[in-house]
């Protein structure tokens, strides 16, 4: 009886061991399956991100290889555009016979030119605001709910989209205000070439890239701002 009892205990231990092994095998298979699923989701998210990145690049009207540092500074013109509605009201009350510009469209007054720039480029500013709002919304979701990295990645994509559209807005404003000078600057960038631009950035001399043409664009926009202030304000 003792021997029989001993065998029964061994059988129970064996059975428990088999059950434990079986359980671990099932758990391992599930973990492997889950890992594969997560990897597939990550790969899918990467593919989606790449498609979205290509779409973002396709939306750029500013040459994507030109870093912000070597683009023309048009801050004073951007300040005017932020107050265009105020200037429109002033223009209707005063200066009915404004002096004509010596450049730009024939017979175009400074306030008319500013209005034309605003009308042509406002779509990019509105897009920027739309994408920025979606970025802030996604940012709040990520912060409040501590969600996965895919949402964090989506957040960065909205941020990039917003930045692209504000660059597009600046490019449009520059092009509309000084088309000839901007065309010369773009031609200089093309001739300088992508590799030379990269090399100049690495050497810390990127400020010298097409410096003359860039300063001519800035003088052109500055001249318009001065003319607008003199004629309108």
User: For 175-223, what is each residue's pLDDT tens digit?
Assistant: 999 999 999 999 999 998 888 888 888 888 888 899 999 999 999 999 9
Q: Which residues contact 57 (CB under 8 A, 6 or more apart)?
A: 64
More confident call, 139 vs 31: 139
Read off the DSSP letter of residue 71: S
pLDDT of amino acid 159: 87
Residues 15-44 have a mean pLDDT of: 55
More confident call, 29 vs 65: 65
Q: Describe the crossing of helices 110-145 and 211-232 by its angle, rounded to 10 degrees.
A: 110
Structure confidence at residue 35 as a pLDDT band (50, 70, 90): low
The SS3 of residue 131 is helix
* pLDDT surpasses 60 at 103: no
* pLDDT surpasses 80 at 136: yes
C-beta separation of 104 from 113 below 8 A: yes
pTM score > 0.85 for this model? no
The SS3 of residue 103 is coil
pLDDT of amino acid 34: 59
């Amino acid at each position: 009886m003792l021997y029989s009892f001993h065998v029964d205990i061994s059988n129970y231990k064996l059975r428990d061991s088999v059950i434990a092994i079986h359980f671990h095998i099932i758990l391992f298979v599930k973990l492997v399956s889950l890992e594969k699923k997560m990897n597939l989701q990550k790969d899918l998210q990467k593919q989606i991100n790449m498609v979205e990145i290509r779409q973002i690049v396709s939306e750029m009207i500013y040459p994507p290889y030109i870093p912000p540092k070597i683009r023309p500074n048009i801050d004073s013109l951007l300040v005017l555009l932020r107050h265009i509605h105020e200037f429109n009201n002033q223009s209707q009350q005063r200066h009915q016979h404004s002096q004509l510009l010596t450049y730009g469209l024939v017979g175009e007054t400074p306030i008319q030119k500013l209005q034309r720039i605003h009308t042509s480029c406002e779509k990019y500013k509105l897009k920027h605001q739309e994408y920025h709002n979606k970025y802030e919304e996604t940012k709040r979701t990520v912060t409040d709910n501590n969600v996965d990295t895919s949402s964090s990645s989506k957040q960065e994509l909205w941020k990039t989209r917003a930045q692209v559209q504000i660059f597009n807005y600046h490019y449009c404003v520059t092009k509309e205000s000084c088309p000839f000078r901007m065309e010369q600057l773009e031609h200089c960038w093309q001739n300088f070439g992508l590799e030379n631009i990269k090399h100049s950035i690495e050497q810390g001399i990127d400020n010298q890239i097409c410096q003359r043409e860039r300063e001519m664009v800035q003088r052109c926009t500055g001249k318009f701002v001065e003319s607008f202030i003199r004629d309108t304000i």
